[in-house]
Structure 1
Amino acid sequence: MTSAGVISLIGLALVATVIVLLLKESRLTTLALLTALAAGALILIRLLPSLSDLLEGYQALGAVSGVSSYYFGLILKIIGIAYICEFCAQLCRDAAQNALALKIELAAKVGILMLALPVLSSIVKTVIDLF
């Protein structure tokens, strides 16, 4: 994504924020929430091509670095879980659902720990084999 693309996304977010605030002042909270969700979805849709390029770049980096594709895939999955759950939790907070946001964050942490378990097991096994 170019700097112009980032600036256009920032502009979209700022315009959406102003509209959401105006709708909230007019007590149109449902419409404000839908506007915020639509703006967030539009931003994500505009980011998809860049995310695809980024994923290809990281896969090429993994191939060149000699890191096992299994471990490299785990790293990418962990990063994906973290970003997706953070985005979802922020949407919940925007909808004044803080308790639900906390549950999503907890689910992300558990998911990340589950994905990391084989790596941690491998490290512990290697350390034990050294002694």
Structure 2
Amino acid sequence: MEIIQIVGLGLVATVLILVIREQKPMFAFLLAAFTGIVIFLFMIGKIEAVISVLQQLAERSGIPSIYLKTVLKIIGIAYIAEFGAQIVRDAGQESVASKIEFAGKVLILVMAVPIIGVVIETVIGLLPAGS
């Protein structure tokens, strides 16, 4: 039950952060950031397993690998932007966090343009000629 370990780590870190924040706010922030990074690193193995399964499915279905890679990059951008924004938010910098989220959204849009183009071309190809 990995979720129990993760929640346990989060709860212990939260209690420590609440105790430390009164005396040493910088250490409390560092502990929060470190806890987030540890949880992220703990999940990397799971993420790799999901990516592997998706690659196998894409190969079997004949989907060009460039599309899967693009979608995975988009998902990665979303997770990293959210993770970074939350750490910055923990430091009390809401305006910087919102800029990180904005940058993530713009990068996602840029990455999605080729896929959107393929979808539009496919739809146009399905329409009867003369419509």
TM-score when normalising by structure 1: 0.88
Alignment of 1:51-70 (within 5 A): 51-70=47-66
Question: Once the 2 structures are TM-superposed, how far is the Cα of residue 67 of structure 1 from its aligned partner?
Answer: 2.1
Structure 1: 5+ residue stretches without partners: none
Alignment of 1:64-103 (within 5 A): 64-103=60-99
What is the DSSP-based 3-state SS (H/G/I as helix, E as strand, rest coil) of the residue aligned with 1:77?
helix
Give the one of 11, 19, 22 matched to 1:22: 19
Return closer, same or farther for 1:59/1:126 CA change in 2, 3 Å cut-off: closer
Match of 1:38 in 2: 34
Question: What is the letter of the counterpart of residue 38 of structure 2?
Answer: L
Question: Once the 2 structures are TM-superposed, how far is the Cα of residue 13 of structure 1 from its aligned partner?
Answer: 0.7
Q: Distance in 1 between matches of 2:43 and 2:121?
A: 40
What is the DSSP-based 3-state SS (H/G/I as helix, E as strand, rest coil) of the residue aligned with 1:67?
coil
- Is 1:12 the equivalent of 2:13? no
| Corresponding residue pairs, total | 127
Q: Distance in 1 between matches of 2:122 and 2:66?
A: 17
Match of 1:123 in 2: 119
Question: What is the letter of the counterpart of residue 123 of structure 1?
Answer: V
What is the DSSP-based 3-state SS (H/G/I as helix, E as strand, rest coil) of the residue aligned with 1:96?
coil
Return closer, same or farther for 1:10/1:99 CA change in 2, 3 Å cut-off: same
Question: What is the letter of the counterpart of residue 21 of structure 1?
Answer: L
Structure 2: 5+ residue stretches without partners: none
Question: Once the 2 structures are TM-superposed, how far is the Cα of residue 65 of structure 1 from its aligned partner?
Answer: 2.7
Question: Once the 2 structures are TM-superposed, how far is the Cα of residue 70 of structure 1 from its aligned partner?
Answer: 1.4
Return closer, same or farther for 1:91/1:113 CA change in 2, 3 Å cut-off: same
**Fraction of identical pairs, as percent:** 41
What is the DSSP-based 3-state SS (H/G/I as helix, E as strand, rest coil) of the residue aligned with 2:23?
coil
TM-score when normalising by structure 2: 0.88
